[in-house]
A and B are shown apart, each in its own frame.
Chain A
Amino acid sequence: MFSKLSLRLAALLLLVAALPAAAAVNVFASVPEWAALAREIGGDKVTVFSATNALQDPHRIEARPSLIARARSSQLVVATGAELEIGWLPVVLRESGNAAIQPGQPGYFEAASVVRMLEVPARVDRADGDVHASGNPHIQLDPRNVLKVADALAARLALVDPAGAVVYKANLARFAEKWKAAMARWEQAAAPLKGVPVWVQHRSFPYLADWLGLKELGALEPKAGVEPGSAHLAGILERQKATPAKMILRPAYTRPTASDWLGERAHIPVVVVPFTVGGSAEATDLFGLFDDTLRRLLAGLK
C-alpha cells in the first residue's frame, strides 16, 4: 500500500522535475523590437516577455515589481545596452536574485555589443543632456543592425539552451533569408529618400538616416532628453528658412507638441515613426515595423 503510494509520489516528483526541462526558454526583452526578434529566432522554443511597450520612453522606465518577478524566472535577458536601460534594468536584474541573467553571464545579452555605434560622443558631459557614453543606443531602425543582432542572438540562445541549437540555427537561416529579401525591397522603395533633409524630434534616427541616406539637419531637442523651448524652436524655424527640411521625424512615444508646432509653421509634414514593434497598428512585427516606417516616410515626401 505504502510502496504503491510512494511509487506514485516518486513518479509525480519525476514528472515535476522533468517539467522545466521540457518548458520553453523564458526570454526577458527590454524593448519590443528585441522581443519580436527573439520570437523570430526562438519560435515555439521560447516564451518572450517584453518589459516595455512602444508608447513608453525606454529611457524612463521604473523597476516595477512585475518586471522583477519576470526577470526572476527568465533564462535570457535581451537588452539594447549602450546605457539605454541604465535607469531601471540594473535594479531589476539585481533585485531578481537570478544569477543566470547578471551582466557577464551567458544569460545577459546586449544587442549594441554587436553593431557599430554611431554618435559616440567625443566628450561626456551631462551639460549636453542625457548623452550615452557608448554611442546612440537607438540601433534598431537600421535593418542591417537587426540582422547582426539576429545572428548573435541565435548564437546566444544556442548557448543558453543547447538542446534547441538546431532549431535556432534553422530559424535564423529562414529569418535572414526573408529579411535580406525584404531589405532589398525596402532599399529599392526608399531610393527617393536618399539625401532628403529632415529634422528629428529626439536623436532617435541616426541609424535610419545612415541606412537610407537621410540628411539630418538637427534635433528639435536642444539637448538629448530635454524638451525644446519656444525660443529654440523659433531658431529652428529660422534655420528651416535657410536650409529647408522636407519633414520632421518623431518617435511614437514622444510628445507631439514641439514637432507639430514646427510642422505647422514650416508647412512640412510631421512623420510619426513607429520606432519599434507596436508603435503603430501596422508595425505588428519587425517586417511590419520597416514596411510601415518606409510607407510613412515616403508619404511624408509627397
Chain B
Amino acid sequence: MAFLRPAALCVALAAAFPAAAFAASDADLKQLRDQLRELRDTYQQRIDALEQRLAAAEARSASASTAAVEAGTAASEAIRSVAEVRATADSVARRPASASAFNPAVSLIIDSKLTRFQRDPSAYRIDGFIPSGGEIGPPRKGFSLGESELAFSANVDHLFRGNARFALAEDGGAGVVEVEEVNVETLALPSGLKMKAGRFLSGVGYLNQQHPHEWDFSDAPLAYKAFFGYRLQNDGVQLRWVAPTELFLELGAEAANGGKFPGAERNANGAGLWTAFAHLGGDIGESSAWQVGVSHVRANPRARGFEDGVDPATGAALQHSFSGSSQTWIADFVYKWAPSGNASDTHFKLQGEYLMRRETGELNYGGNGNDYAARFRQSGSYLQAVYQFMPHWRVGVRGDWLRSGTADLGGLDPAGLPILAGYNPTRQTAMVDWSPSEFSRLRLQLARDKSRDGEADNQIWLQYVMSLGAHGAHKF
C-alpha cells in the first residue's frame, strides 16, 4: 500500500499548486528520492513520519480538488518520472502490521420489514402438525425490525478457523442476543476430511445452511418451519468428507445435543440427535450447475412438550408431551443456469426439497399421566424458481405443500388435540427484488398463506437486507 504514497504525494502536490505543478513536483521528487534512500537504511522508523506528511499533503489535495483536474496531465507525467522512486519505495516501504491487522472479519446484516397481514401473526400456527416451538410466525404487522446478524470469523491458527454469528433481536421490548453459530472448524485434516464443533447450522438439506439474509424469499419454506422450527441448529460435532473425484460428492454426519425440535430439552450425557447426509453435484456444460442431496435426521425426544386445546374445567391451556423416536428424511435438489456461467446479467435458479417425518412413541395427554401409543407420518415440500431477468432485478415464485398425513393416537380422542386434525397447509408466494449491489437488496413479496385451517392469510412484505463490513462469500 505504502509504495503508492510517493505517487499520491505527487498528485497531491501537483493538485495543490496547479500553476507550478511540474516544477513543484520535481523539486519535491528530488527531496523524496533522497529521503527514500535514507529510508532504505533506517527502514521502518521513519515511515511513520513520512506517512504523516503524506496524510497532510492528501488533506491539502482534497481542498484543491477542482484544480486537480487541470493539473491531472502534469501529475500523470510526474507519476511516470517517479517510477524509480517507487521501485525504491517498493523495497523499503511495507506498512508495519499493527495488532488490529489480526482482527477477525466482521460483518453485520441489517434487516427491516414493512408488512400487511390479514390475520394476527401472533396467533400463527401450522395446522395438522405438532408445534415445532421455533420462531416460525411472521413478524408483527406494520413496521418491524428483523434480526440483525453480527458475524465474526478468522483463522485461529494454521489448524483451526473460528466462526461466530449472533442475532440481535427484540423480544417483548427487551433486546436479546441469540447465539446463532459459534464453532471451530478444522483447516488441516488429511484426505478431504473436515470437522466442525460447537453450534452450527446442520448440513442436512439445501436451505438449512443458508442464513436468512441469503434466502430468496423473506421467510422460510413451510416444511422447514413445521419440521425444524425453520432450521435445524445443532450443538455438537460435524464430520464431512469430500471425495477426490471430478463429480462433487460430499458425505457428512453429525452428533448433537438435540435440545431443540425435533429433539427436546434433555439432561443426559452424550448425543440426542444424529444426522447423516450426502450431496452430489456437478456442471452441465458451462452454463448449468446442479446439486442433489439426501439427508436423515434422527432424534429421541423425551417429554417434548406442546400446548393444544383448553381444559374445560379450568380454562387453562393443556400441556402435552411426546416421547419416542423421530426420524426425518430429506431429498433436495438445486439447479442453476446462467449464460456461459456469467450470472451477473441473467440467471435462473430452481430448487426444491421434500421432507418426510416418522415419529413413534408415547403421547402424554394433558399431563395427567395417561400415555397413548402414538404414530405420525407427515411430509412437506416446497419448490421455488428465481429468475434474474436483467442486472440487479429478480423475480421468484414459490409453492409450499404440507401433508399432515396419518396420525395414530392410540385410542386418544382426536377431538382433544385440535391442532392435529388432518389438514394439508399450502402457501403460494411471489417476489420481486432489486439488488443495486452485492451488498444491498430490497424485496417485495406477496403470499397467500393457508397454514391455518380455514383462515387464508394474504400477506404483503416489503423488506430490505443490507450487508456491512467484510465481503462474505456465499455457498452454492
Is A162 positioned at the interface, with any CB of B under 8 Å from its CB? Answer: no
Contacts of B475 in A (CB 8 A): 63, 91, 95
A59 to B439, CA, bound (A): 13
Contact status B283-A53, CB under 8 Å:
no
Task: Tell me which residues across on chain B come within 8 A of A56, comparing CB atoms.
Answer: 340-342
A160 within 8 A of partner (CB): no
Assess the A126–B439 pair: CB atoms within 8 A.
yes
With A53-B341, A91-B475 as contacts: A70 and B246 at CB distance below 8 Å: yes
- B434-450 residues with Cβ-Cβ distance < 8 A to A are 436-439
| Docked-complex contact B345 and A83, CB < 8 angstroms | no
In the complex, the answer to whether A116 meets B473 with C-beta atoms within 8 Å is: no
- State how many angstroms separate the Cβ of B427 from the closest Cβ of chain A: 28
Q: Do A66 and B281 touch across chains, with their CB atoms under 8 A apart?
A: yes
B249 at the interface (CB under 8 A from A): yes
Q: Known interface pairs A66-B281, A99-B187, A122-B8. Does A86 touch B439 (Cβ–Cβ under 8 Å)? A: no
With A66-B282, A120-B4 given, is the CB distance from A97 to B192 under 8 Å? Answer: yes
Residues of B within 8 A of A (CB-CB), count: 57
Query: Residue B161 contacts which of A55, A94, A97, A120 (CB distance < 8 angstroms)?
Result: A94
State whether A65 touches B289 (Cβ < 8 A): yes
B58 within 8 A of A: yes
A57 pairs with B283, CB closer than 8 A: no
B412 at interface (Cβ–Cβ under 8 A)? no
State in angstroms the CA–CA spacing of A94 and B313 once bound together.
Answer: 59
Tell me, yes or no, whether B102 is within 8 Å of chain A by CB.
Answer: no
Instruction: Find out whether the CB atom of B241 lies under 8 angstroms from the CB atom of A116.
Output: no
Whether the Cβ atoms of A53 and B286 lie closer than 8 Å is yes
Contact check: which of B4, B76, B158, B438 meets A215 at CB < 8 Å? Answer: B76
Task: Out of A60, A70, A72, A88, name the residue touching B344 (CB < 8 Å).
Answer: A60
Give the shortest distance, in Å, between A26 (CB) and chain B (any CB): 10
Q: How large is the interface on A (under 10, 10 to 19, 20 to 34, 35 or more residues)?
A: 35 or more
Interface 0/1 of B255-293, CB less than 8 Å to A: 000000000000000000000000111110010011100
Q: Does B90 contact A (CB under 8 A)?
A: yes
CB contact under 8 A between A253 and B342, given known A91-B475, A122-B8: yes
A225 touches B342 (CB 8 A): no
Residues in A with CB closer than 8 Å to B250 are 68
With A57-B344, A122-B58, A225-B437 known to touch, is A97 a contact of B241 (CB < 8 Å)? Answer: yes
- A149 in the interface, Cβ–Cβ < 8 Å? no
A69 and B282 contact, Cβ closer than 8 Å, known pairs A55-B342, A57-B344, A96-B242: yes
* B43 proximal to A (CB < 8 A): no
Residue of A nearest to B347 (CB): A62
Q: How far is the CB of B344 from chain A (nearest CB, A)?
A: 4
Assembled-state Cα–Cα distance A20/B91 (Å): 41
Q: A94 to B248, alpha carbons, bound, how many Å?
A: 14
Q: Known interface pairs A95-B242, A120-B1. Does A63 touch B476 (Cβ–Cβ under 8 Å)?
A: yes
CA distance A227 to B434 in the complex (A): 14
Chain A residues, CB < 8 A from B241: 97
Q: Is the CB of A64 within 8 A of B340?
A: no
A-B contact pairs, 13 of them (CB 8 A): A53-B340, A56-B340, A64-B476, A97-B241, A98-B242, A99-B189, A102-B187, A104-B158, A120-B1, A122-B58, A226-B436, A226-B437, A255-B345
Among all A-B residue pairs, the 5 with the closest Cβ atoms: A65-B281, A65-B248, A69-B248, A99-B188, A97-B192
Chain B residues close to A by CB (< 8 Å): 1, 3-4, 8, 58, 76, 86, 90, 155, 158, 161, 185, 187-190, 192-194, 240-250, 279-283, 286, 289-291, 336, 340-345, 391-392, 436-439, 471, 473-476
